[in-house]
Structure 1
Amino acid sequence: MNVAAEKVALISGGGAGIGLQYAKELLRNGLRAVTLVDINKVNGENALKEISEEFGGDQVMFVKADVTDKEQYEEAFKQTVDKFKNLDIVINNAGVMNDAIWERQISVNLVGTIHGCILALENYLPKYKTESEGIIVNVSSVSGLEKFQAFPIYAATKRAVIGLTRAWGKEQHYWRTKVRLLALCPGVTDTPLLRECLERNLGPAYQDIMKGNIPHLNVQSAEDVALSLIYVLNNGKNGSVWVSEHGESPYEVGMPSRHQLRRT
Structure 2
Amino acid sequence: MNLTREFLYQKYIHDKKSLKEIAEETGLPITTIKSRLRRFGIRKKPIKLGNEIYDNRDWLYEEYIVKRKGYTVLANELGVSYSTILDRILFFGWELRGHNEIDKGAPRRGTKHTPVSIERIKSTRIKKRVYFECFQCAQTTERVRSGYSRSGKKFCTYTCYKNYLKENRVETIDITDSALYKEWRKKVYARDNFRCKMPGCNSNSRDIAAHHIYPKKLFPEKQFLLNNGITLCKNCHEKTYGKESNFIDALVRVVQTMND
Q: TM-score, normalised by structure 2?
A: 0.17
Does 1 or 2 have the higher relative contact order (CA < 8 Å, sep 6+)? 1
Q: Which has the larger radius of gyration?
A: 2
Higher share in strand? 1
Q: TM-score, normalised by structure 1?
A: 0.17
